[in-house]
Structures are given as C-alpha cells and as structure tokens.
Amino acid sequence: MVRHRFLVPLLALAFTGACSNGAHPDTEVVDAGGTSVLVLKELGEGGSAGVGIFGDLRLVGERCVGFVMGLETALLVFPPHTSVSGSGADVVIHVQGTDLRLGEHFTGGSRSGAPEPLSHFGDLGKQIPSSCRGLPAVAYTPDPH
C-alpha cells in the first residue's frame, strides 16, 4: 500500500506538466502542396515581439518557409490564427491582416534577436520535414498596419 501513496501525486504532477503551456507553445505544420508553413497554436511565455526582423520569404531546407537572417538560414514560425492558401511555390500565408508570398520582402518582430533551436518550439522538430530539422527558427509577428 505504501507505493500507491506516491503514485497519485506522481501522476498528478505528470498530468499538470503535460497540460502546461509554459515555454513550449503548441505548434502545427501546415502542408501546402509540399511547402511547409510552421504555425504556433498558442503563444508560450515570452511570446511578444521585441526585436525587429526582416528579409525575403523563401523556401529553406528545401520545403519549409523561412528566410536568411544575417549569415544564418532560419525557419519562420508564424503566430496563432495564421492561415494558408495556395500550394507549392504559390503558397500565400495570411497573418494578422497581411498576405505574404514566397519571394516577397517582410518586416516584423520576434521575441529573440537570433534564431533559436527547434527545441524552443515544443515538438516542432518532430513535425517538420526531415530536410528542415537542422535549421533554427524565429517566432515571427508582423508589423502592425
């Protein structure tokens, strides 16, 4: 009977940890005809934009939407409520009243001044195509209109 006394608190702790959004936001990868768009389902801690970023939207890692930041190629992780239409090279990303297409210049903000390892985005590294897994990522928020 002594074992059961420890089992219930341990299970409660495991359940609480699994439900907490903490620093690992829930993510999804939207496949648009072979082009993968990374989207947060919710903002984790530190989810507000704080550092300006800009660049040209492009395919990185052969299949994922990203850009070149300085000398480093990075994935872009779009904020909650982002939707996607079109497919392949004609993908359109609808984010907070702005439509973005591959090849277009974008500006916005990020919670970090440098790309972060995929591990900072929950299980995103397991969801994206294998050709993109070695790349870091930037959580993106577009400039307000």
Alpha carbon distance 106, 109 (integer Å): 10
Q: How confident is the model at residue 61 (pLDDT cuts 50, 70, 90)?
A: very high
Q: What pLDDT does 45 receive?
A: 54
Alpha carbon of residue 5 to chain centroid: 40
Q: What pLDDT does 51 receive?
A: 84
Domains and CATH numbers, the chain: 27-142 (2.40.50)
CB 66 within 8 A of CB 52: no
Identify which of 137, 144, 142 has the alpha carbon closest to the alpha carbon of residue 76: 137
The alpha carbon torsion through 109, 113, 114, 119 (nearest 10 deg) reads -70
DSSP-derived letter for residue 120 is G
Q: How confident is the model at residue 20 (pLDDT cuts 50, 70, 90)?
A: very low
Q: How confident is the model at residue 26 (pLDDT cuts 50, 70, 90)?
A: confident
Alpha carbon distance 42, 140 (integer Å): 13
124 or 10: which carries more pLDDT confidence? 124
With tokens 């389902």, the residue in question is 41
Identify which of 56, 63, 78 has the alpha carbon closest to the alpha carbon of residue 32: 63
22 or 113: which carries more pLDDT confidence? 113
Across the chain, what does the average pLDDT equal?
A: 81
- The HSE-up count of residue 31 (CA atoms within 13 Å, CB side) is 5
Q: What pLDDT does 31 receive?
A: 95
Q: What pLDDT does 39 receive?
A: 95
44 pLDDT above the threshold of 80: no
87 pLDDT above the threshold of 60: yes
pTM of the model: 0.78
Alpha carbon distance 45, 138 (integer Å): 15
